[in-house]
Structure 1
Amino acid sequence: MSARILLAGLAAAATAACAPLVGLPNSAGPTPDPRAWAAACTEMDDWDKPGPPFRVYGNTYYVGTCGITALLVTGPQGHVLIDSGTDKGADVVLANIRALGFDPRDVKAVLISHEHFDHVGGMARIQAATGATVVATPDAAKVLRTGKTAAADPQAGSGHPPFAPVSGPISEVRDERPRTFAGMAFTPMMTPGHTLGATSWSWQSCADGVCQTIVYVDSLNPISDETYRFSDHPALVSAFRAGIASVAAAPCDVVLAPHPSAAAMRDRLLGAKPLVDPAGCRAYAATAAARLDARLAKEGAGG
């Protein structure tokens, strides 16, 4: 991805994120203490277990479950949600949005990380409650419209359950230009590998005049069913490595992930690790690259 494009998107995001909220509440009541989530949720928790919402930074809030991340970014012209969780988890997400004092009907766009049921299985339910446009890559959009794992997905043979198809509008993202949703700029990074349509997103949130670049990095985990070999798909491996490199090179102050444990969420909320860490994306990418190398080496050895 062009550094010029990414930086332009982040500059636009900073302008929007630091603008005062007009007509929409930043929160109708006190924001729950983030440590309450850490107290309610374990490191590797159930995907549908409710956990209290909390402010991550500025106008970015965690509204997901204990085991699956969903994020709400609030703005002067409405809100943007990222991921839905499972079908059951979507009810938790909607309840958490309301608990923060926001109206789900003010959500204008729903972005996705990757097209597996644990992250988008509740997308139809979310869209019905919000009326928002779903934003996804073409490969991910195909899955959303059918509710079934793509045949070429590395985990296609793992028995992923089908989910309710998305019948409302889907806006397809085909490149890495910054996009504006609800008056706020978000920059997509194509990070296929875990799935074909996987996408990471970056934006800026500000608090007390200090803006931080938040990067929601997709799973980047080379796992599959028992028959799939990444080494038989060199184009996907090449795209996988390119996506990992984009994440490593991206401006990044706060790294988040679809599974909160992948970004050490509990440790960071409890102060054992810093929330703001400019090296976070590089470390996340290095771990992903090491996993991919190990997987390919195992396949090369006949594993």
Structure 2
Amino acid sequence: MQRRARTRIMLLTAALLLAGAGAAATPAFAQSANGHPKPPHPSPSPSRDYDGEILAAQQAAKTAAGLEHLGTLNRVCFLPPVNGAPSDSDVTPGYILDPSKAPAKSTWYADSTQVFDDLYWVGGSIHSAWLLKTSAGLILFDSGYQYSAQTLILDGMKKFGLKPTDIKYIFISHAHADHIGGVQVVQQATGGNARVVMGAADWDAVAAHPKQFLGQTPDFSTGIRVGTKDMDIRLGDTTIHVVPTPGHTPGTNSYIFTVHDYGVPHVVAYSGGTALGFQNDVPNPGIHNLQVYIDSARKMQAEAVASGADVLLSNHSEFDNAYVKSRMMASRGFGPNPFVNGKASVKSYFDVTAECALADQLPLEKMAAQQHH
């Protein structure tokens, strides 16, 4: 791992030196018979120029990032990835059993902000949650941690005269504590009115780890399981297009929906899982895991482009700059909405994630080639 880290640093330095020389293009993704993208690189071979391919992928990601997606570039391309190796551990977080162990409010608090006519940011300085107003009730996207949900979401709603009992759906992008943690707190506050929507694989992960998800468990009896195919869920005049994007977790979902800014419609592409939070330090299963992630990024990119998405949202401010942009709204007036990225920028976001994942996949392919020759 130390050797890999040194290699990443050396490649980053080389990429920065080449920044002014123009982007090194990477091959387009071909489509396989089942519609999923194929890797844009040949099979592992000891004669391939892996270092050159890695550098090209990093350069392509850097070019796509521009100034808008630097946080995503740094996290996915150049910071050491989290090695999410499978584990059967089922341990309750300390702050659940003892609330005094929760992080200080000053480390996660932020004021809630209305960012569109019908969309409210009720997240914290690091992790986001979003509330969408429809003609038939409210939809919550993600729920933060268990210890922050009351303050950020439920208390934050009061600022806009919104009631928890009007929440009809809670969409959980994936079953990690920073996004599913507050679901039980919020669902109870709705009086049982809200149904939780989550990927089937992540529902199964919650069921298999009751201690880990103690105090953070959605109601299974009313839950909606999302399988491997896209689905639409409608509330009043609003449709949420659910796009399964496995990779960050096996059940990660992303979303496409419409919001309005002074009455003008804008389409949101909501990225449900961006960091490489799965096992990626050895060829098996790292190469496969990274390919699943790449395929999902390209799939979501295609759907975002087809829908005309011009707003990129996430559940972490490091990926969509939500915290900074929310602070800008107070002085916005009738000027441009900082949350409207533009269609090209939304498309580029998924170029960044896919190319960065490729840059992590190639060293594993190089390792596999060396092992077999």
Q: Into which bin does the TM-score normalised by the smaller protein fall? A: 0.7 to 0.9
CA distance in 1: counterparts of 2:236 and 2:310, whole angstroms: 23
Deviation at residue 301 of structure 1 after TM alignment: 4.1
Match of 1:166 among 213, 218, 241: 218
Structure 2 residue 268 is the aligned partner of structure 1 residue 214: yes
CA distance in 2: counterparts of 1:128 and 1:279, whole angstroms: 40
Whichever residue aligns with residue 159 of structure 2, its letter is A
Match of 1:192 among 242, 246, 249: 246
CA distance in 2: counterparts of 1:51 and 1:267, whole angstroms: 10
Gaps of 5+ in 1: 1-43, 150-160
Structure 2 residue 351 is the aligned partner of structure 1 residue 286: yes
CA distance in 1: counterparts of 2:286 and 2:278, whole angstroms: 13
Which segment drifts farther, 268-277 or 97-106? Answer: 268-277
CA distance in 1: counterparts of 2:345 and 2:366, whole angstroms: 32
Deviation at residue 280 of structure 1 after TM alignment: 2.7
Deviation at residue 121 of structure 1 after TM alignment: 1.3
Normalized per residue, the structure richer in helix is 2
Q: Could you give the per-residue CA deviations for residues 106-164 of structure 1, whole angstroms, max 9, x where no partner exists? A: 00000011111111012111111112100012112223445569xxxxxxxxxxx5442
Deviation at residue 233 of structure 1 after TM alignment: 5.9
Structure 2 partner of 1:99: 159
CA distance in 2: counterparts of 1:228 and 1:46, whole angstroms: 33
CA distance in 2: counterparts of 1:264 and 1:236, whole angstroms: 27
CA shift in 2, pair 1:229/1:258, >3 Å: farther
State the Cα RMSD in Å: 2.9
Match of 1:140 among 202, 206, 220: 202
Match of 1:120 among 180, 191, 202: 180
Structure 2 residue 329 is the aligned partner of structure 1 residue 275: no
Structure 2 partner of 1:85: 144
**Contact persistence 1:104–1:129 (CA under 8 A):** yes
CA shift in 2, pair 1:186/1:141, >3 Å: same
TM-score after normalising by structure 2: 0.60
Whichever residue aligns with residue 224 of structure 1, its letter is F
Structure 2 residue 360 is the aligned partner of structure 1 residue 295: yes
Whichever residue aligns with residue 262 of structure 1, its letter is F
Percent identity for Structure 1 against Structure 2: 22
1:219-258 correspondence runs (5 A): 219-224=273-278, 229=282, 231-232=284-285, 236-249=289-302, 250=304, 251-258=308-315
How many residues matched? 248
Structure 1 partner of 2:68: none
CA distance in 2: counterparts of 1:279 and 1:46, whole angstroms: 39
CA distance in 1: counterparts of 2:366 and 2:288, whole angstroms: 20
Whichever residue aligns with residue 126 of structure 2, its letter is G
Deviation at residue 234 of structure 1 after TM alignment: 5.9
CA distance in 2: counterparts of 1:247 and 1:209, whole angstroms: 26
Q: Could you give the per-residue CA deviations for residues 243-273 of structure 1, whole angstroms, max 9, x where no partner exists? A: 2112222131110111012112345444899
TM-score after normalising by structure 1: 0.73
Whichever residue aligns with residue 294 of structure 2, its letter is R
Structure 1 partner of 2:168: 108
**Contact persistence 1:247–1:281 (CA under 8 A):** no
Residue aligned with 1:61, SS: strand
**Contact persistence 2:290–2:358 (CA under 8 A):** no
Residue aligned with 1:179, SS: strand
CA shift in 2, pair 1:264/1:230, >3 Å: farther
Which segment drifts farther, 289-298 or 161-170? Answer: 161-170
Deviation at residue 239 of structure 1 after TM alignment: 3.4
Gaps of 5+ in 2: 1-74, 76-102, 369-373
CA shift in 2, pair 1:144/1:125, >3 Å: farther
Structure 2 partner of 1:41: none
